[in-house]
Structure 1
Amino acid sequence: MSGPNGDGIVTAAHCTGLNQFEESTSSIYGMTWRSEERGNGDAEYHTTSHIEPAEFYATSASIRDVNSIKSTIFMFPGSSVCEYGRSSNTRTCNHDVIATGVTATFTDGVTVKNLVRVTGDNSIGGDSGGGWSWNNKAWGVHSGSNGTTSLFTPVQRVQKELNVTIKTK
């Protein structure tokens, strides 16, 4: 993605203290925190030490091009979507949208609005910030789960709140 301070990546804002990331090639790159939103979504923007292409992880060994983004108004209940968790290195496509515009209070007491709730919870600790997608369409950033459902911040909300643009090919 690109933003006011340069190319970078987006992750969940409740993930604190991040200062590097590892690519599938095992290369480790530094990143610098730039901004975050925890209220109208759960996302933060970091610049990185190299140009970020229009790609996302489907698994740690499978990177896909971002061809488009999913508009929140088209995230209808029943729409299927996939989650990728970096810590679990698991991509699951057995989720369906339950509702958009969801408000949730996180375990740290912060209330976050404008989330998307989906069926299922396949995530483990450290999966927050992972991508939600379908084929090559970016949907959002993983925010959390409660054991039976999962939540993510939709891409449009990420772009609006952080003043960034998710790159597409």
Structure 2
Amino acid sequence: MQRCNLLISRVLLFVAGLALLAMVALVAVNIVMRQVAASFGGTSEIVGWLTAVVVAFSLAHAQLNKAHVELDILVARLPARLQALLQALVAAVSLLFFAMVALKLWEYGYGAMQRGMVSQTLRLLLHPVIFLVALGFSAFCLALLADVIGSLKRVVTK
């Protein structure tokens, strides 16, 4: 499971990096076009979509590498077994919450696809971006599931 999680998170992180580069290029081209001619309409819309993809696709990798802020001033003083139990509890609650977020994003994307929802400026379909964000949150849930399992193993072995 860990190898699968790592592969998924790395692929998503690579795509997030490409999206970030696309954002930089789009903004740079738009700035130059403003100086010479008319700017590209819809830049802020596309940058917003790409930002959502960058954030969602980076979550799983950040979780697997523990690249997030964690305040453990009190927890660090507890016995190892209790620490692992609290970590499992926090990861399980996080998993439940973000699983609901992912599920609602998949449902919202499906509804947007059925209704043919389009963006305001460029009139492009919205559901592909919503599905990409849902995919990122689903991968994040896999990383959280791995954390729950790992923490529970530490509870049993300590």
The normalised TM-score by structure 1 is 0.22
Structure with the bigger percentage of helix: 2
Larger-gyration structure (1/2): 2
The normalised TM-score by structure 2 is 0.23
